[in-house]
Chain A
């Protein structure tokens, strides 16, 4: 990636310096030199804690810088010049053991048509840079200022790391090359024409609607990773997202809404939305007068299942499973869900992914196979945690081969896992296309099989309703009473209460077809599941 050009030279220099130190045996000398300085300074500052010594050491660097650097520019130039006369600067750079720059570039074009009129259009092009450097510990700089000097940025990351206490994993593979398929960039006019045509078809195809809103967008994303360990890799992927909203003519506060994604715009067609809309219309019925809270045999619609998956995917985070903050901790290899429940995280089958934020190739990850918990989503750090745990730790029922599979990154490193008011900088675990596999029952068959119960057709508040440590959930929702295998009256203001482990253990049948639910706002991953019939679920309201 062009945005990483400036960083390649810096990474090479750091790699060369590290190599040279190794061969010269200088590392220990410099460490000793710094150690003696630290002790002296600590005593003078009367500092006693481990942290203070680190902070003071940082101050030592600052002091040296002030004392000796007549030209502060050498603080950056000597990254590429180890003959700099400023010995303190040389020492500082000599202590950057490894560094990495990751660039995430997105180009997005979007058009929104409503009621036959183009409402809005947008275009954006943005590159984000995450730069990490490790001396003894790892520091990070995130910048959108593309003209920032790469050497200064690496140095700042290194300095940030000096105050930390942890060293992060970086990709050690010498993976190289540009992967992925080049995508043709659509013009806004093309997307607008598509949206207008789809909007017309939908309005004509829905007798109870007089307008629809269609938002069509193309997103081309590219990730590049270059580091001092030899990785220099980039991956590109493109996709189209189409979101449709169709309000009822006589009650516009009630509307059908769904997003569909595809790698070709032509794949996204009106008949699918029309069929889904017809299904949705069946749930808009007169409200019932009374509802008795209790435990019901329940059909969960695909949207309601997705809202649970939106946060429940965290149960399969390798980090959580390893550190005991997932209810699945220690249960690898065990039967945890009902027969027929299979969950996988796909590199395609929705959004396309090529490499993750650490430069690891993305792959399909089996998580639950026929009810058995078989794997986790891993990044480099969580895979290391698993290696350290050993098979006697979190999982005592898995084979060595299965265990070894957990000890490598699955290409699930990312930064935007959940909503937060800040730029996401922590390298964490993020799903790609987190899919609960479908079954073979139509929704009608599930409702008939339910007999007497409730169909939860819509739920709300996907981000606040599940405690990922325990798996307990309380989702606000609306539903339809099922009587004699048929939809009867509408129920508003419900809450479904339960635990994810119990819920999926109680699944009796899975529906055919899956909706998708993109991660709100960031749209950087999606979850997807079918409707399902569960033996019992507590419903209040």
Chain B
């Protein structure tokens, strides 16, 4: 990676040409991918993502330029090109930019960096997961597994004198079985994801269980019944907080607020949800997939209370979109890599614990849906979530498994109908959220909760 002096010279050059604010994001990321299909190893793949992005802001205009040639000459050329795109140039800044390095603690400590682990050990782990999945019981028609590890080093420097570094390590196994039984064939996917080094595979039972679960879950779904679309109470299991991510998380991002496309625009301080709802986004949670020392603009991560007892308290802001709506960064400026300009994004977004009894939540439902697992989804003012594993509740008891259901609705409407929030928070491994600045790791833990009524279909 370039030296600190190079960052200072490039930033100083951009400021001298007329950039009010300039920020360099330099990334060097090593990844390993080991795919396996039908028990056959498809090789080891080494990846190196390497490059730099320069973010310039003048007033309400932003320019983003990037390259994977990080020589000083190339970066200076990039800076000139970027500043030329700014409609208005600011008066040249004083020379002599001094970068002060800030040290931030990463909440996800690493014991064994993936690069220090032999590929053979990773393959052995994958083989064990493969065996576990195949011996789970149901007939597996095809099975693909893929091991991933990521070791991302970033340096962020800006014209305010900030110089910050972070190193983010994750490991993951994806299990994709196609299961068949007398009801047909079904393809599903399971993941074992950790914001840790290879030590995340010390617990053999945990990832083997994830592999078995992916197969058994697909088998159960095949055997499940269908139900007619209807409006019923919906109980969502602990750990399945995707509901919050999709129903209102995206609408609380400054990107949505600034564009006016969110139902939460102009509602700060107002009651927007049931009083049982306290919604938090916290990028500092130890060991969580959405956590890191700093965001991708060098701002330390923080705990952001978005909704408190149903009252809207804040938005998730990156520097630029925060500026558009007159708010400071909340440490939420994130991006997939250097090829994306930062945008406000969620991290670990969750409903805070309540004081309702989990068993009563189901017991008091005459007829409704218990969502044990949520699949993929879509967010915004209208949201939709696939029910990956659902059970029909009849007379206060789980009656049978049901399939092919989607939860749909308007986020601001659904969160006003939360009538129970359980006491026990459950974490989850995490996955990716895709939006304007690419795919970023997030988690959606939550306690069990209930929506008094909601459309399912």
Which A positions have Cβ atoms within 8 angstroms of B?
51, 55, 58-59, 111, 117-127, 137-146, 148, 156-157, 160-161, 163-166, 188-189, 192, 213, 247, 252-253, 255, 293, 323, 325, 419-423, 425-426, 460-461, 463-465, 467-470, 472, 474, 476, 478, 492-495, 497, 520-521, 540-541
Residue numbers in A under 8 Å from B402 (CB-CB): none
What is the minimal beta-carbon distance from A59 to any residue of chain B, in angstroms? 8
A126 with B434, Cβ < 8 A, contacts A55-B123, A163-B123 known? no
B residues in contact with A117, CB < 8 Å: 60-61
A470/B186 contact (C-beta < 8 A), A55-B123, A144-B68, A540-B229 known: yes
- Check A293–B404 contact: CB distance below 8 A: no
A146 B48 Cβ-Cβ under 8 A: no
In contact, A140 and B119 (Cβ under 8 angstroms): no
CB closest chain-A residue, reference B256: A253
Name the one of B65, B68, B375 contacting A146, with C-beta atoms under 8 angstroms.
Answer: B68
CB distance from A137 to the nearest CB of B (A): 6
CA distance A59 to B121 in the complex (A): 13
20 A–B contacts, CB within 8 A, in A order: A120-B61, A120-B63, A120-B64, A121-B86, A122-B63, A122-B341, A124-B65, A144-B49, A146-B69, A166-B43, A188-B85, A252-B260, A253-B260, A422-B31, A476-B384, A493-B455, A495-B408, A521-B434, A540-B228, A540-B229
Enumerate chain A residues within 8 angstroms of B386, measured Cβ to Cβ: 464-465, 474
Assess whether B260 is in contact with A461, with CB atoms less than 8 Å apart.
Answer: no
Give the distance to chain A from B82, nearest Cβ to Cβ, in Å: 7
Secondary structure at the A interface, as helix, strand, loop or mixed, is mixed
- In the complex, the answer to whether A141 meets B45 with C-beta atoms within 8 Å is yes
A189: B residues at CB distance < 8 A: 85
Q: In residues 23-62 of chain B, which contact A (Cβ within 8 Å)?
A: 31, 33-35, 40-51, 60-62
B: number of interface residues (CB 8 Å): 76
CB distance from A128 to the nearest CB of B (A): 8
* A124-B84 Cα distance, complex, nearest whole Å: 14
Tell me whether B46 and A123 are in contact (CB under 8 A).
Answer: no
Cβ-neighbour of A293 out of B43, B81, B228, B375 (below 8 A): B228
Other than A59-B120, A425-B47, A476-B378, give 17 A-B pairs with Cβ distance below 8 A.
A118-B87, A119-B62, A140-B43, A144-B51, A144-B68, A160-B119, A164-B42, A419-B434, A422-B33, A423-B47, A426-B35, A467-B187, A469-B185, A493-B382, A493-B409, A493-B410, A495-B406
Does B288 have its Cβ within 8 Å of any Cβ on chain A? no
Shortest CB–CB separation between residue B448 and chain A, in angstroms?
A: 23
Interface presence of B339 (CB below 8 A): yes
Interface positions, chain B 222-264, Cβ under 8 Å from A, are 228-230, 259-263
Flag B60-81 by CB within 8 Å of A: 1 or 0 each. Answer: 1111111111000000001001
Min CB gap A198→B, angstroms: 17
Query: How distant is the Cα of A293 from the Cα of B230 in the complex, in angstroms?
Result: 8
A495 and B384 contact, CB distance less than 8 A: yes
Contacts from B to A (Cβ < 8 Å)? 31, 33-35, 40-51, 60-69, 78, 81-82, 84-87, 119-120, 123, 127, 142, 148, 178, 184-187, 228-230, 259-263, 339, 341, 375-378, 380-382, 384, 386, 404, 406, 408-410, 431-432, 434, 438-439, 441, 455, 457
Q: When the two chains form their complex, are residues A247 and B261 in contact, meaning their CB atoms are under 8 A apart? A: yes
Contacts of B119 in A (CB 8 A): 160, 163
Give the contacting residue for B31; candidates A138, A293, A423; CB below 8 A.
A423
- Docked-complex contact A540 and B43, CB < 8 angstroms: no
A188: nearest chain-B partner, CB-CB: B85
Residue contact A165 to B187, C-beta cutoff 8 Å? no
Question: Which residues of chain A are within 8 angstroms of B229 by Cβ–Cβ distance?
Answer: 293, 495, 540-541
Please state if B120 and A58 are interface contacts (CB–CB under 8 Å).
yes
Min Cβ gap A105→B in Å is: 10
Residues of B near A164 (CB, < 8 A) are 41-44
- Complex Cα distance, B444 from A469, in Å, reads 28
User: Do A140 and B45 touch (CB < 8 A)?
Assistant: yes
Cβ–Cβ contact B44 & A124, under 8 A: no
In this complex, the member of A51, A127, A423, A463 whose beta carbon has the largest number of chain B beta carbons within 10 angstroms is A423
**Contact yes or no, A423 B261, CB < 8 A:** no
Distance between Cα atoms of A31 and B120 in the complex (Å): 23
A residues less than 8 Å from B49 (CB atoms): 144, 423
CB neighbours (8 Å) of B35 from chain A are: 426
Which 8 residue pairs spanning A and B have beta carbons closest together?
A: A540-B457, A464-B376, A164-B43, A540-B229, A476-B384, A461-B378, A421-B432, A121-B85
| A293-B457, A520-B434 known; A421+B408 contact, CB < 8 A | no
Least CB distance from A323 to B in Å reads: 8
Residues in B neighbouring A122, C-beta threshold 8 A: 63-65, 85, 341
* B46 in contact with A156 (CB, 8 Å): yes
Q: Of all chain B residues, which has the CB nearest A421? A: B432
Q: A110: nearest residue on chain B (CB-CB)?
A: B64
> A253 — which chain B residues lie within 8 A by C-beta?
260-263, 381
Contact B384 A460 (CB under 8 A): yes
The answer to whether B187 touches A469, judged by C-beta atoms less than 8 angstroms apart, is yes
Bound complex: CA A120 to CA B323 (Å): 14
Name the distance in Å between A288's Cβ and chain B's nearest Cβ.
14
A141 contact set on B, CB distance < 8 A: 45-48
Task: Pick the residue among B62, B65, B408 that contacts A493 (CB under 8 A).
Answer: B408
Which residue from chain A places its CB closest to the CB of B39 in the assembled complex? A165
User: Which residues of B have CB within 8 Å of A247?
Assistant: 260-261
A478 vs B184: C-alpha distance when bound (angstroms): 30
Scoring B33, B127, B178, B441 by chain A CB atoms within 10 A of each residue's CB, the highest score goes to B33
Task: Chain B residues near A467: list those with CB within 8 A.
Answer: 186-187
A125–B33 CA distance with the chains assembled, in angstroms: 26
Known: A117-B60, A142-B48, A293-B228. A126 touches B43 (CB 8 A): no
Tell me the smallest distance from the CB of A329 to a CB of chain B, in Å. Answer: 11
Please give the distance in Å from B76's CB to the nearest CB on chain A: 14
From B46, B60, B185, B263, give the contact of A119 (CB < 8 A). Answer: B60
Decide if B120 touches A123 in the complex (CB within 8 Å).
no
State how many angstroms separate the Cβ of A299 from the closest Cβ of chain B.
20
* CB atoms of B48 and A461 under 8 A apart: no
Whether A494 lies near B63 (C-beta < 8 A) is: no
Question: Which residue of B43, B375, B382, B409 has the most chain A CB atoms within 10 A of its CB atom?
Answer: B43
For the complex formed, measure the closest distance between the CB of A149 and the CB atoms of chain B, giving whole angstroms.
13
Of all chain B residues, which has the CB nearest A467?
B187
Residues on the A chain within 8 Å of B377, using CB: 461, 464
Cβ–Cβ < 8 Å partners of B404 in chain A: 472, 474, 497
B contact residues around A157 at 8 Å (CB)? 46
- Are B43 and A461 in contact (CB-based, < 8 A)? no
Do the beta carbons of B378 and A464 come within 8 Å of each other? yes
Q: Report Cα–Cα, A281/B47, bound state, in Å.
A: 47
The answer to whether B66 touches A126, judged by C-beta atoms less than 8 angstroms apart, is: yes
Report A-chain residues with C-beta under 8 Å of the C-beta of B409.
Answer: 493
A247→B258 CA distance, assembly (Å)? 13
- A148 close to B184 (CB less than 8 A): no
Q: Find chain B residues with CB under 8 A from A493 CB.
A: 382, 408-410, 455
Query: Within 8 Å CB of A325, what residues of B?
Result: 142, 178, 187
> How far apart sit A156 and B142, CA to CA, in the bound complex (Å)?
30
Contact B85 A138 (CB under 8 A): no
What residues of A have a CB within 8 angstroms of the CB of B431 in the complex? Answer: 421
Provided the pairs A141-B46, A163-B119, A419-B434 are in contact, do residues A123 and B260 lie with their beta carbons within 8 angstroms? Answer: no
Collect the chain A residues with CB atoms within 8 Å of residue B432's CB.
421
Which of chain B's residues have a CB closer than 8 A to the CB of A520? Answer: 434
B382–A478 contact, CB under 8 A?
A: yes
Asked whether B406 lies within 8 Å of A476 as measured between CB atoms, the reply is: yes
Query: What's the Cα separation between A463 and B439 when bound, in Å?
Result: 14
Instruction: Say whether B40 contacts A165, CB under 8 Å.
Output: yes
**A383, B378: Cα distance in complex, Å:** 36
**CA A426 – CA B174 in complex, angstroms?**
15
B61 touches A119 (CB 8 A): yes
B457–A495 CB distance below 8 A: yes
